[in-house]
Structure 1
């Protein structure tokens, strides 16, 4: 999987477990509005970021589909690139109060190109990073270009609704990528829309 304009690939959930060491804490690199993010190493040595949605969430399937649709259609150098996804249902019998119950669990994951420098909030907190003004300005400009693309160049425009340093990722060249589109809203025509959701960051 590379950063080219191609359809995101359907990946087996078992494969994602294998490349993240069964989603071990050692491979965890962050947490978004609806799930945790792990680093995964593929057989060819390439790294990807695997965002596993929380298994118990009343908005799980809806937000999974929304984030997939939003990311799969956006092509911009300052927007994180979706390279794969997984959506599987697992069932097993479990004993409960003397009875055997068949329990189904839905496993959902979105996969992205791995960003070497992590999120912007870590960059800002690291006073020893020593990056000069040119680098800092390029990060600011890149975020603005990504937002401009979402809000002015897309039709209909898209609004992120949870933009914060933790949702800005930095690649190996310190190019910023806007991520975590689970709360995004599409606005069509001149219609004004409001959201009363309390999910996300205050």
Structure 2
């Protein structure tokens, strides 16, 4: 593992725990000599984690659509910045440049990115580990909902194992580094329940 894609909010959130977790994740990535790949913004948790990785001497690759760069939310001080045409290109390039994925707290965009890479893993399009940094219980409701989805027959039990979660950066990263690919079959059968 050489690079980790981090999905997170373009807002810092309302509690200092989110900012603290972004800085802690940055320190963990730098400690393990992992390159940060992220959405290229200089705002919210995105900007905080990028700035912290750079401050600690790490490498940061950003990927941002031209329309967002033009609105002056692009981070111009990164190790590497890719400016792409649209969000689809952004997500594809971020996935291509990354060996693992971590979702921190964020909004709809963060959830959409997380679910897209989970879907790709479920379909067998990649075998990269996917982590959820559950800061201050932020994702407790989502994890409960995913369990409910499985119980209702819309998600195989082994597909739930695709998403690794922890509330500590170091232990989450360790789980990602020792991840064993979950065998996946897309369709749920009544015998799976």
TM exceeds 0.5? no
* Structure with greater helix share of residues: 2
What TM-score, normalized to structure 1? 0.26
What TM-score, normalized to structure 2? 0.26
* Structure with greater strand share of residues: 1
* Greater Cα radius of gyration, structure 1 or 2: 1
